Structures are given as structure tokens and as C-alpha cells.
Amino acid sequence: MAQASVLIVGASISGPMVAYWFARSGANITVIERFPKLRPGGQNVDIRTVGVTVMRKIPGMEEDVRSKTINLESIQLVRSNGKPIATMKTTGDPEQQSLVSEFEIFRDDLSQTLYDLTIAHENVKYVFGEQISALYHKEDHKGVTVEFKNGKLPTTEYDLVVACDGTNSKTRALGFNCGVSDHVVPINAWAAYFSVEKDYLAGKNLGQMHTAIGGRAMACGPNTTSGNRVTAMAIFPRKDTSAMALFREAQKSGEDVLKKYVAQHYQGVGWKIPEILEEMMTSDNFYASEWAQVKVPKLYNGRVVLVGDAGYAAGPTGGGTSLAMAGAYVLAGEICEHKGDIETGLEAYEQRMKPIIADLQKIPPGVPGILAPQTQWGIWLRNAILIIVTWSSGAFGWVSKLFASSFGKNKYGLPDYKWEM
């Protein structure tokens, strides 16, 4: 098995992470990505808990991440006139993170870091602008034959196919004989991400967020170049199962329609939002997605295995990036640990990941509704609680413990694997 062949689908965070660990085992790795290059833009993501543990197992990664972190001093909740309601600061200790992470980095910067760690490796090949069109399990489940859509790769048999292509994974659908939306658990919320040229923070190294009735919130933070990156969030009551229908329809209709839908949803909201929405309409790195969790009965079927959001999207818990990093490490590690027996390695991967997934998929009380309450009374109550919390370090410490993803220490006991297949 020294030259086992591994196909990884998706070149965002999960894919290059899987490639890095399998490359250490001597496997031949192909990473395909349906977009023509690494996707630019995106929201800031946090590396926490088990993600910090895995990061520190990769020489030089923590230093590189620190050089690219946003280093926000705080996040402010502001009124429509811009005056702060409450300010949440970092703890200054990556082992005891608050709601503001010590390792907060833009998604595209983290993807680039992981891509750079693997691109020069002789056993790793990236193929952009390609995707799977068909997938066939061998009768003995000892391999997978894959056909490709765009002809950049020939039909090939792989020892293992790793789905790292997100919540609505097409690879999961093909490999598990299910629908793309099967196993996706809606949260009844969506978010849009885009950049604007104007600096609405006037050079301040902080994030600001304004909320309005109807579960609407918009957050503005610094960008690595100029202007700001913006996240617009819409949170609906969990029992309102029809609330997401308009968003899903707009999403199917293309970016222009989706932008118009987002702008319409925020009509009448104050602060800087009208001006930000005008810039959103011409932003060239806009995208929007539904918040959801993925809960599958098994993480693998034959030689097709799920890593990251494809297998266990965390939704609004803040643990998605760390779960993806852990999953990549454990998958490659357990297969190496069970040298020559991929099936047993896959089972060991699932068993070790189950408690980590269960922990980091726990949605804290009041989340995500507390981010953007539905009523004026709800906003007032949330603001009052945050004012008390941020004025009292004792209270803040207690509240942060409600969030399973807030801590940097290794409480899962990940082993140090021997990287041989």
C-alpha cells in the first residue's frame, strides 16, 4: 500500500489538509476542484480546540497563520447611530479563547496556507476546473472507479475517494447513493459574504455589527488589502420551515437575483447598511450560503469517505474549521495506523471522530437567535445581557464556557501517528 492512490474532491480547507497528511504517508494524491482556481474572498474563520492541536503538529503552520490572522482587538455591537452597545475583546490566550478567536483568519488565506504546504510535494497533484461525473464502487469494495466531467483527467480507479466538497456534497450523493440535500439539517438561517471598497471602520482594527428586527444582522470588519469584508446574516424562527424558500429560490436563479434578494431583505435597516448594500451590488467576490449541519449515519461507504462539511458541517457553532482539520488528520493517521487495511482504518477514523463531532456540533443555548433576535424586545434583552457580560470578566468567563468551540486545549487526546501506509 506504499503507493496507494487517493482522490480528494475539493481544494478548500479540508482538501489540502487531507492532502498534507496523506502525502506524509507516501500515497499518490490527486486533488480536484470544480472552480478554476482557489476561491478568493469569504468570511473569517476560527481555529479552535482540536484545530489548534492539529495546526501545531504541522511545522511552521502556526507561524504562518499568525502572520495572516486578522488580529481583531474586539467586536462591537452598535446602535443605528453607530454608538457601541457592548464590546467583546480577545482574552490574549489562545488556550482560553473567547468569542473572539486568537486564531481568526480569512477563509481564503487559510486555504492558501494549506495549499502552499502541499503544492510542491512530488506526490500531490492539483487539477482545477474538474469534477466527478460518475463514481462506481468495485464489487469487492476495494476501490472506486471515477469518471470526470471536463476531460482533464481520464477515468481512473482509486484506492480511496475523499469528499471535501462542502455541505451539499455531490461526491457524498454519488458515493452514498443519496440526494445532495439528504443528511443536511437546516438551521433556518443564511449568510452572505462580500467585500466593499470603502472603509466603514475608519481604520479601526475591530469588527462592528448592527442588528434589526426580523432576525437581520450585518457585520463589518477589516480586510487584508483595502476596504472591509462584510457578513450579512438572516436568522428565522426555527419552527418556520417555509422561511428559507425565498432564499433558496434566489440562490438557484444566479448571483444578480441573489444580490437583489439580499438587498430587499435589509430594506429599512439603519446604520451604514444602505450604503454597504449599494457596494454589495457591484462586489465581485459575493457569495451566499445557507447555514446547516450535516449528520450522516456513517462517515464512509466502501472506499468513499467524508471529511469536513461534507460529513459533519457544524453550522453556527464556530467549530467547522477545527472539525475539518481534525478529520483530515485522523483519517490519514488511522489509515496509516492500520497499515494495509483501509477498511479497518476507516472504521477507526469514524469511531475516533464521533465524540469530537458530537461535541463541536452542539449548538449553544440561544444560538443563532441571539445574534439577531426577531423582535425589538428580544434585541433589547440581548443587548442588556451583553452589556452585563462584557462589563464583568467573571460573567464573561461563565458565558464563554457555553460555547464548546471556545477553547484551545487538546481535550480529545489525538495521538501522534506513524506516517506509513
Residue 42: pLDDT band with limits 50, 70, 90 = low
User: Which secondary-structure segment (H or E) carries 190?
Assistant: strand 184-196
Q: How many domains does the structure of the chain reveal?
A: 2
Range of the domain at 254: 187-292
In the chain, % of residues over pLDDT 90: 63
Instruction: Summarize pLDDT for 280-336 with one digit per residue, the tens.
Output: 999 988 989 999 999 999 999 999 999 999 999 998 888 889 999 999 999 999 999
* Residue bearing the bigger pLDDT, 399 or 230: 230
Instruction: Summarize pLDDT for 103-135 with one digit per residue, the tens.
Output: 778 888 899 999 999 999 999 999 999 999 999
Domain ends where: 326, 360, 394?
360
The answer to whether residues 40 and 60 belong to one domain is yes
The answer for residues whose C-beta is within 8 angstroms of residue 202's C-beta and 6 or more apart is none
The answer to whether residues 136 and 269 belong to one domain is no
Q: Helix 14-23 and helix 320-337: axis angle, to 10°?
A: 20
The answer to whether residues 129 and 204 belong to one domain is no
DSSP summary character for residue 299 = S
Q: Which residues pair with 82 in a beta bridge?
A: none
Q: Residue 339: what pLDDT?
A: 84
pTM of the predicted model, to two decimals?
0.88
Would you say residue 353 lies in a domain? yes
The yes-or-no verdict on residue 97 having pLDDT over 60 is no
Would you say residue 98 lies in a domain? no
Joined grid coordinates for residue 143: 476501490
Residues 313, 291: Cα–Cα separation, whole Å:
9
Contact present, 286 and 193 (Cβ < 8 Å): yes
The answer to whether residues 165 and 61 belong to one domain is yes
Domain ends where: 334, 360, 386?
360
The yes-or-no verdict on residue 10 having pLDDT over 60 is yes
Closest CA to 170 of 132, 141, 202: 132
Residue 392: pLDDT band with limits 50, 70, 90 = low
Mean pLDDT of 68-89: 84
The answer to whether residues 233 and 347 belong to one domain is no
Instruction: Summarize pLDDT for 225-260 with one digit per residue, the tens.
Output: 788 999 999 999 988 878 899 999 999 999 999 999
Joined grid coordinates for residue 191: 449568510
Q: Residue 70: what pLDDT?
A: 73
